[in-house]
Structure 1
Amino acid sequence: MDLTALQHQLDNLSFLVLFLTMLVYWVGTAFRNLSFLQPLGTAGFALGNFCITGLLIARWIEGGYFPISNLYESLFFLAWGVTAVHLVVEFSSGNRLLGVFTAPLAMGITAFAALSLPPEMQSSEPLVPALKSNWLMMHVSVMMLSYATLMVGSLLAIAFLIVTQGKSVSLQGSSYGSGNERLKSIRNNNSFASTPISVSSSDGQTAVLEQPQTITEEKLSPQRLNFAQTLDNLSYRVIGLGFPLLTVGIIAGAVWANEAWGSYWSWDPKETWALITWLVFAAYLHARITKGWQGKRPAIIASAGLIVVWICYLGVNLLGQGLHSYGWFF
């Protein structure tokens, strides 16, 4: 069997499946009478994950090492993680609208890997000496899984901001956040204005009194509010899963760095941005757990986290500098 040809067939097939899956989710959501298409979207995610799994296994057999050593392999491993996290979240929540937001992410990653990278970057090559270590699977795979999980969680936070854009939101009845925070949210939904009232006295003089008048902002419909609360809750839980993975991945990387370079931390650009990523999501979880934040404010932090994750994963390597630059662009 020609494993190289099989890999190219599977990478193109995974892109095609995820592209069709994205269209199925979008059409099924746009047209209510076509909601029966949404189960097909779930099947598309499962099929896409199966294709990527087959690709990674074929790559593993051909190269003789865990396929996560260059950009092509890591992109497909990232896409595998995104589709796997989506399936877990969808089955646990029972909400099939999530694919509207996660399908474009998975499709875009596979499209970049299968259609944009040059053939020489897609071919399997022997590992460079620095990567010939058992820590390759431990460190890189956990980091990539944390990236995939944090990306999905951040994307759900962005979806929350889109759904609630320009609307008043009061999230109540959730299993997290403090009562004071919900009270603040309710108070912030109302603005107070003063309307002058003229009152005549017995001596013919007129007094002007100020009467407070409550102006209520436009609120979300109950159905849309329920979906927004689901997005907020799932985003929090998914990020809560990705953060420990990121922590373990950074620790494993530090141990590997000490074995390879004699130092646990060297402030390499990749290490620095991994620390920045950790701090951003630590701030998010601190705001949710300790401060009781929920809704738009933590969603903004998580949205910024998505940008930071992409810089850490891909942006740093565009510079072609540092100890982590091999096997990527240069």
Structure 2
Amino acid sequence: MLVDQNLSNFSDLSFRTALVLYVISLFLSLFYYVRIQAVIDARRALKAAVPAAGQSGGVLLEERPSNLQENAEKAEATANKIGGMLQSLLWIGIAVHVVAIVLRGLSAHRFPFGNLYEYVLMVTAGVMIVSSIALQRKEWRTLWPWILVPVLALMFFGGTKLYAESAPVVPALRSYWLPVHVTVVSLGAAIGLFSGLSSLLSILRSWQPKGKEHGFIGGIVKPLPTATKLDTLAYRTAVITLPTLGLGIVLGAIWAEAAWGRYWGWDPKETVSFATWVLYAAYLHARATPSMRKAAPWINIVAMATMVFNLFFINMVVSGLHSYAGLN
């Protein structure tokens, strides 16, 4: 079946537009991050000034907390406006991102899961959707710079080094199992990446506890939620990641039996995917075991790194039955 080149071009244009919108969102999120730092500093200054004013009883010190309160409220109001603009812009970017995926599929009259470029397109869209749903509350908005940077890096790499022209899929992928298997796996990967990033930030925050930040790194992590909240966020999303990836692996095994006559063959992709699933299971076990709880975030980070290794190295370097990157 012929490829609709116009739809393919519009898909590429939508992808680039989404990339630009995310870049603008990154700068806006950084501005929001700085404003939240100012809000925190103003609140801490007010907290320190109120006892001093109460003890002194002097006129000058009595007026100072009032001024600090006003400054803190103004800074918070400004930050909330920026945060609202950020959320709106991100949803617009996500909508354009999804349009790029849909047009890519329509252009080739198939589901857009035929090569590594399209898979990266799907995973990054999944990360953005999962993040936007999970970070609705104001206290979570400071996580956006930490999420947008790796997402933009993945999209830039996918759009430059991994890009493949819209075309029919190779014969081995012409199966109704393709959209089912890849959709579930990409969703699991998106949630897993979000969970791993949350664990990474929880470790960073545990080194710089809230209210006890110090040095350059302390100033950077100051706007982040507490380590406990970040760890809880990582755990709750990992709880979804484990069964989702497990289901994806099972669906892949069923497809493998239909395509190759066996459910499992320890192909490099299968092996690393199973190792990733085991690591997420180990993370949840460690998280629920008091003696291993401190090591749990590190296991989650290793699971995320293994997933990224599976996404790039196994697809691009190692030869196997799953070598459908579309780079040749």
TM norm structure 2: 0.78
Does 2:106 match 1:69? no
Does 2:82 match 1:37? yes
TM-superposed deviation, 1:165: 1.9
Match of 1:308 in 2: 306
Does 2:229 match 1:230? yes
Match of 2:55 in 1: none
Does 2:320 match 1:327? no
Identity %: 27
Aligned residues: 275
> Equivalents in 2 of 1:132, 1:231: separation in Å?
41
Structure 2 residue identity aligned to 1:65: R
TM-superposed deviation, 1:154: 0.3
TM-superposed deviation, 1:134: 0.7
Of 189, 195, 218, the residue aligned with 1:153 is 195
> Equivalents in 1 of 2:189, 2:225: separation in Å?
28
Contact between 2:26 and 2:149, CA under 8 Å: does it hold in 1?
A: yes
Contact between 1:317 and 1:328, CA under 8 Å: does it hold in 2?
A: no
Of 66, 85, 96, the residue aligned with 1:51 is 96
> Equivalents in 2 of 1:44, 1:161: separation in Å?
29
TM-superposed deviation, 1:321: 0.2
Contact between 1:22 and 1:107, CA under 8 Å: does it hold in 2?
A: no
Contact between 2:256 and 2:263, CA under 8 Å: does it hold in 1?
A: yes
Match of 1:280 in 2: 279
Q: 1:226 to 1:19 in 2, by over 3 A?
A: closer
> Equivalents in 2 of 1:272, 1:134: separation in Å?
23
Match of 2:11 in 1: 7
Structure 2 residue identity aligned to 1:24: L
TM norm structure 1: 0.77
Higher helix share: 2
> Equivalents in 1 of 2:242, 2:122: separation in Å?
18
In terms of mean alpha carbon deviation, does 22-31 or 93-102 score higher? 93-102
Q: Which sections of structure 2, spanning at least 5 residues, go unmatched?
A: 39-74, 212-217
Of 13, 17, 27, the residue aligned with 2:31 is 27
In terms of mean alpha carbon deviation, does 85-94 or 2-11 score higher? 85-94
* Bigger Rg over Cα: 1
> Equivalents in 1 of 2:224, 2:108: separation in Å?
50
> Equivalents in 2 of 1:300, 1:309: separation in Å?
14
Match of 2:178 in 1: 136
> Equivalents in 2 of 1:92, 1:241: separation in Å?
20
Q: 1:250 to 1:18 in 2, by over 3 A?
A: same
Aligned-residue Cα RMSD (Å) equals: 2.4
Does 2:131 match 1:86? yes
Q: Which sections of structure 1, spanning at least 5 residues, go unmatched?
A: 170-219
Question: Deviations along 1:171-196, whole A, 9 cap, x unmatched?
Answer: xxxxxxxxxxxxxxxxxxxxxxxxxx
Question: Deviations along 1:234-273, whole A, 9 cap, x unmatched?
Answer: 0100111111110000000000000000111000000000
> Equivalents in 2 of 1:9, 1:168: separation in Å?
43
Q: Secondary structure at the match of 2:282?
A: helix
Of 296, 299, 318, the residue aligned with 2:297 is 299
TM-superposed deviation, 1:98: 2.0
Question: Deviations along 1:28-81, whole A, 9 cap, x unmatched?
Answer: 112334523222222232112101111111112111111011011111101110
> Equivalents in 1 of 2:202, 2:237: separation in Å?
14
Question: Deviations along 1:205-236, whole A, 9 cap, x unmatched?
Answer: xxxxxxxxxxxxxxx9xx87952222111010
TM-superposed deviation, 1:159: 0.8
In terms of mean alpha carbon deviation, does 78-87 or 226-235 score higher? 226-235
Q: 1:167 to 1:128 in 2, by over 3 A?
A: same
> Equivalents in 1 of 2:154, 2:89: separation in Å?
16
Contact between 2:269 and 2:320, CA under 8 Å: does it hold in 1?
A: yes
Q: 1:7 to 1:29 in 2, by over 3 A?
A: same
TM-superposed deviation, 1:95: 2.1
Match of 1:213 in 2: none
Higher strand share: 1
TM-superposed deviation, 1:301: 1.1
In terms of mean alpha carbon deviation, does 68-77 or 104-113 score higher? 104-113
Contact between 2:276 and 2:306, CA under 8 Å: does it hold in 1?
A: yes
Structure 1 residue identity aligned to 2:9: A
